Amino acid sequence: MKISIAQFKSELGAVEENFSTAARLIEAAKNSDVILLPELWSTGYYPTPVENFADVDGERTKKFLCAAAEKFSVNIIGGSVIVDSGGKIFNRCHVANRRGEIAATYDKTHLFSFADEDKVFSAGDKISTVELDGVKCGLAICYDLRFPEFFRNITLTGAEIIFIPAAWSLKRLMPRQILTKARAIENQIFVVFANSSGKSEIINPRGEVIAESGRDEEILTTEINLSERAEVIAAMNLLADRNLSVD
């Protein structure tokens, strides 16, 4: 599976400009199987009051992603955007498949209270997975990375790759790099992390960085071989060795 991360730092509140940038980068990565955008790419992280920038029911975002996915016959994991749904504001990820259909949505579950996300966003209450080209994929957003039980629950659904759009400060780069490796190793999965601030990365089930970006706008592309995951599990099946009597 050929995966591309469309890394860019959005202009705060400049929705039209950010949509144009996303369209340009999606076209540049059109020969991929899956394209991943960063967190809150359409607005930046995050303009206030958020309700003034919310996409009502995600309609504009969904139309944009579906049109691009169908045009280029590519799966797009649409990072996340501010969505007003039923009067509540969510940090929501939409996934468009090659046919130009919305195949999944996910609302950020763990809200970053240090940036007052819990005061302006409503938290999601369920995990979300999606099958892309026959591969089961899980979805997470930024701060979710710090919660290992959340990733374990996604893995237990059968997910082989977890995609993470983020707007993670490079001031906290070191712990984030440890966490992406840890989530990959402990769950024996691929982790794909798209960061608006730079240093996006793709991690294999051994915890090895197989692709890493710089700090500027970039298309980061690599081919992952899912048989590598099967090899890792065959050598040491961590999930099979869990002692459920103490979980």
Would you please indicate which residues are annotated as catalytic (active-site) residues? 39, 108, 142
CA contacts within 13 A on the Cβ side of 30: 12
Question: If 0-12 CB within 10 Å is exposed, 13-18 middle and 19+ buried, where does residue 167 land?
Answer: buried
What would you report as the CA-atom Rg of the chain, rounded to the nearest whole angstrom?
17
Q: Structure tokens of 200?
A: 């996006």
Q: Can you tell me the distance from the alpha carbon of 137 to that of 27, in angstroms, rounded to the nearest whole number?
A: 23
How far apart are alpha carbons 216 and 97 in whole angstroms?
27
Among positive and negative, which fits the CA dihedral 198, 46, 116, 202? negative
For residue 96, what are its two tokens?
């468009």
Scanning the chain, the segments in alpha helix (DSSP H) are: 15-28, 59-72, 117-120, 148-156, 173-187, 227-235
